[in-house]
Chain A
C-alpha cells in the first residue's frame, strides 16, 4: 500500500539511486581513510557514468566488498549498511574508531520527486559526507598511518553495532534525504576515548624498520574481527575477479527537465554497454584508474622490465600508477598520447572516458620507445603480445589480463594459482608467509614474492624477516604498492620505484650489530667525563645560543 503511489519506473529508479548511493558512500569513506589526499577533476561535459554528478572514483575492491556485504539488498528499516573503521597497531592491537551508518527509517515523503529532488539531495548528501569525513578524529589518524599502525575498514549489513567504540562515543549526523519509501540517514559514531593512543604519540615515533614511508599508502582492508560477522569467504576469488564491471559502471545519464514540473525525464542508459567491445574499452580506463594505485609491478628485479611505472597526470593530483609493463605496445593503451622523453602522463581526462578517449586509448603512441622491451614470461603477457600489434587487439583479453594481474595483488591465493610469473611485491616481508589464512577474510594478502628472483633478494628477505618483529603480525593488511611520487619512467629501463625496491633492504650496517655496538658503547661511556668537562667550559656560549632561540 505504501508503494502504490510510486510508479514502477520511479520505484526502480529509486532503488537504483539508493544502491549506487550506498556504493558511493562506501567509496568516499574508505578513500578518506587511505591516508592520502584525494583529488578528482571536474568535467563540464557529462560523461554519463558519474553518479550524482560527482567525480568519485570507484576502487573496485571496495565496490566488491560493499556489494558482497549488501548481497543484493538495500538499506531498509533494521537493515543498515555500516562501514567500520578501525586501527591496528604493529603489535596487533586493534581498536574501532568509527562506524558510519547508512540507515533507512519509516518516515516517508510521498510528495517528493524521485528522479529529481531525491537525486539532487543524495548528491548533496555525498558532498556533506566528503566534508564530514575530514573532520572526525580518525581522519588525522589515517593521514599518519603507516609507521606504527594502519587503518582498516569493514563493511557489514544488518544491525548497527556500536559497542566497540568505547564509552562516551560521539555521533555526528551527515544528513538525511526523504524518499517515498523512507528517509535515508547517514551518520557517524566515533570513539573519543583514544586515551592510549594520541596522534602525537605517532608523530614523534620514527618509522620502524627504517623503511621510508614518505609515499607509502596503506590500503585498508577488512579486518577479520571475530566479534562481527563478516560474510567474506576465502577462496571465492577466481581469475575473473570483479566480473561485474559493467554493472558497476552503469551509465547514469541523467536528464532533467525544467518544463512542466511534473515531467521529469530521467534516463538511465546502458547504451554504452550493450556491445562487448565498447563495454570493455569504455570501462577499461576506469578499473585501471581505480586500481592503478594498487597495481602490482610486473618487473622482475634484475631484468629491469620496461615501463613498469608511470605516474598519472599531476593534474589528477592523485598519485596514480599504471603498471604498463607487459609489452612495449601496451602501456600506451593505458595512457593518453605523450610527448618525448619518458612515459607520458595521463591526459587530463576525467576518470570516465568518453568515446574520444576510447579511440585515443587504442592507438599506440608514436615516438615513445621503451628499451629492453622484453615481455615478461608470464602467460598473460603472451596473450597480450600475441593479440595485438598496433591496435587495440582484443580488448577483452587485455581487460582480462589486467584483471588477472590485479587478482595477484589482492587474492588470497598462492602465487602458482595466478598466472603471473614475475609477481613482485614490495614490503613482501609483511605479507603472511602462509597464504592460506585461518581467517576467512583476507581480502588483500598477496602471495609471497618469488624469492628465487635474485640471490640478493633472497638474502635480504631472510635477514629482514628475522629482525622485524612486526612483520609477521601484519596478517590483515598489506602494503600493496610503492608509489614513488614524481617518478617518471624515462628511457632508462630502471626507474625510481624499481630502484627503490631493489635496494630497500640493504644489509645491516656492521656498526649497528650488537657486538660492535657494545664495544663502542663502552668507549663512549669512558669518554663521557672528558666531554662533560669540555662542555662545562663552554657553558656560557651554550647559554647565549639558547637565548637566541627564545
Chain B
C-alpha cells in the first residue's frame, strides 16, 4: 500500500524523513563534468513534471516533458535528459563550479556534490520559511590521473560501464515509490515545485558541494541556490 510520510514537524531533525542515496565515481579530470551531469540529469528526469496549469475547482492539468539523448565526449556513455535548456544550464553551472573548486583546492581530487530535494514550509513572521529535505543524492567524486593514452581509453569504457550501473541504481530507488510531496494546491505549488522554468517543473532542489582535503576533512562548503530563493523574512 502506498505510504505517505508527512514532512517532519518543525524542530524535529530534518534528516529524519529524508531519503539519502550515495553514489561514488572515480573519474579522470576531464570526465568529471559529464559523469556528474549524467547522474543529476537522470535524477531530475524522474523528479520533474510538466508545468502545472491550475483551473477552476482545484483541478490542474500538466504540460508535457520532452526528452533528449546526450552523448558524452570523454566517456563511452549516453544518457537521457529532460528537454529544458534552462535546467541544463543551471546544472552545468553548478557542476562547473564544483569542478573548478576541485581543481583549485589543491586536494587529492576528492569531493562530493549533492542534489537535495526539499519542501518549503511557510512559517509565521518573524520566522523564516523552513526548507525540509525529503530526498538527498550525494555523488562522491574521486579524480584519478592517468599516465597514457591506453589507460585513458580503458577509463572511457570503464567509467561508461560504471555509469550504466549508477543509472540502474537510480532507477531502482525511483521505483520504490517512496515518499513524494503531496500534489500541492495552487497557493502551495511554489513550496513543492520550482515553477521558475518555462517548460518543465522540477521539484524544488538545491545543489551543494564539498571538497575534501587530503586529510579527509571537509574544507569548503558552498551552498548555491539555483532557484529563486525563499524569502528571508
The reply to whether B46 and A127 contact each other, CB–CB distance below 8 Å, is yes
How distant is the Cα of A130 from the Cα of B48 in the complex, in angstroms?
14
Q: Are A53 and B64 in contact (CB under 8 A)?
A: yes
The CA of A38 and the CA of B71, in the complex, are separated in Å by 11
Give the interface size class of chain B: 35 or more
Q: Does B171 contact A (CB under 8 A)?
A: yes
B145 within 8 A of A: no
Q: Is the CB of B64 within 8 A of A46?
A: yes
Chain B 153-182, CB-CB to A under 8 Å as 1, else 0, gives: 000000000011001101110110100000
Inter-subunit contact A258/B184 (CB<8 Å): yes
The 6 lowest CB-CB distance pairs between A and B, nearest first, are: A259-B58, A175-B175, A39-B68, A135-B164, A37-B69, A40-B66
Contact at B46–A254, with CB atoms within 8 Å?
no
Closest to A49 in B: B64
Q: Is B45 a contact partner of A44 (Cβ separation < 8 A)?
A: no
Provide the bound-state CA to CA distance between A255 and B59, in Å.
Answer: 6
A174 touches B (CB below 8 Å): yes
Q: Which residues of A (458-486) have their CB < 8 Å from a CB of B?
A: none
- Asked whether A43 lies within 8 Å of B66 as measured between CB atoms, the reply is yes
CB <8 Å contact, B171 and A175: yes
Mask of B57-99 contacts with A, CB within 8 angstroms, 1/0: 1111111111111010000101110111000000000000000
Question: Are A131 and B164 in contact, with the CB atoms below 8 A?
Answer: no
Our pick among A109, A124, A135, A139 for the contact of B1 (Cβ within 8 Å) is: A109
- Can you list 9 A-B contacts with CB-CB less than 8 angstroms, sorted by A residue number? A37-B78, A44-B198, A54-B64, A54-B65, A55-B66, A117-B2, A121-B177, A127-B174, A256-B183
> A38 near B68 (CB under 8 angstroms)?
yes
The 8 Å CB contact of B79, one of A131, A140, A174, is A131
The answer, yes or no, to whether B29 is at the interface (CB within 8 Å) is no
> Least Cβ distance of B85 to chain A in Å?
10
Q: What size tier do the contact residues of chain A reach? A: 35 or more
A121-B177, A128-B174, A134-B78 given as contacts; is B59 within 8 A of A53 (CB)?
A: no
Min CB gap B57→A, angstroms: 7
Contacts A127-B45, A131-B45; A255 near B174 (Cβ below 8 A) = no
Q: Which residues of B contact A135 (CB under 8 A)?
A: 163-164, 167-168
Instruction: Tell me the A26-58 residues at the B interface (CB within 8 Å).
Output: 37-47, 50, 53-55
Whether B168 contacts A53 by the Cβ 8 Å rule is no
* Chain B positions 29-72 with a Cβ under 8 Å from a chain A Cβ: 42, 45-46, 49-51, 53, 55, 57-69, 71
Contact: B57 with A257, CB < 8 Å?
yes
Q: Which of B42, B46, B60, B168 contacts A256 (CB 8 A)?
A: B60
A253 close to chain B: CB less than 8 A = yes
Known contacts A44-B50, A53-B65, A131-B167; decide if A176 and B175 are in contact (CB<8 Å): yes
A366 CB–B CB distance under 8 Å: no
Q: Which chain A residues lie closer than 8 Å to B61 at the CB level? A: 46, 253-256
Chain A residues near B170: list those with CB within 8 A. Answer: 131
Determine the chain B residues whose CB is within 8 A of the CB of A45 once the complex forms: 51, 53, 63
State whether A128 touches B175 (Cβ < 8 A): yes
Given contact pairs A45-B53, A117-B2, A174-B171, A134 touches B79 in the complex (Cβ within 8 A): yes
Given A41-B83, A42-B50, A53-B50, decide whether A257 and B174 contact each other with a Cβ distance below 8 A.
no
Q: A47, A54, A109, A112: which contacts B67 (Cβ < 8 A)?
A: A54
CA distance A465 to B186 in the complex (A): 66
User: Can you name the residue of chain A whose Cβ is closest to the Cβ of B49?
Assistant: A53
B155 → A minimal CB distance (Å)? 16
The 8 Å CB contact of A55, one of B64, B80, B177, is B64
A239 within 8 A of B: no
Q: Decide if A259 touches B45 in the complex (CB within 8 Å).
A: no
Across-interface contacts of A93 in B (CB, < 8 A) = none
Most chain A C-beta atoms within 10 Å of own C-beta, residue among B1, B45, B65: B65
Report the minimal beta-carbon distance from B168 to chain A, rounded to whole angstroms: 6
Contact B167 A132 (CB under 8 A): yes
Query: Are A175 and B51 interface neighbours, CB within 8 A?
Result: no
User: Is the C-beta of B185 less than 8 angstroms from some C-beta in chain A?
Assistant: yes
Collect the chain B residues with CB atoms within 8 Å of residue A111's CB. Answer: 1-2
Chain B neighbourhood of A54, CB < 8 A: 64-67
A residues 378-434 in Cβ contact with B at 8 Å: none
Q: Is the CB of A130 within 8 A of B80?
A: yes
A-side contacts of B167, CB under 8 Å: 131-132, 134-135
Choose from A40, A47, A128 the contact partner of B46 (Cβ within 8 Å).
A128
Residues of A within 8 A of B200 (CB): 42, 44
Q: Which residue of A lies closest to B188 (CB)?
A: A258
Q: Is B199 at the interface (CB under 8 A from chain A)?
A: yes
Residue on A nearest B187 in the bound complex, by CB: A258
* CA of A135 to CA of B75, assembled, Å: 13
For residue B65, which residues in chain A have a CB less than 8 angstroms away from its CB? 42, 53-55
11 further contact pairs, Cβ within 8 A, besides A44-B199, A46-B62, A257-B58: A37-B71, A39-B83, A45-B63, A46-B64, A130-B45, A175-B171, A175-B175, A254-B62, A255-B60, A259-B185, A350-B64
A92 to B50, CA, bound (A): 45
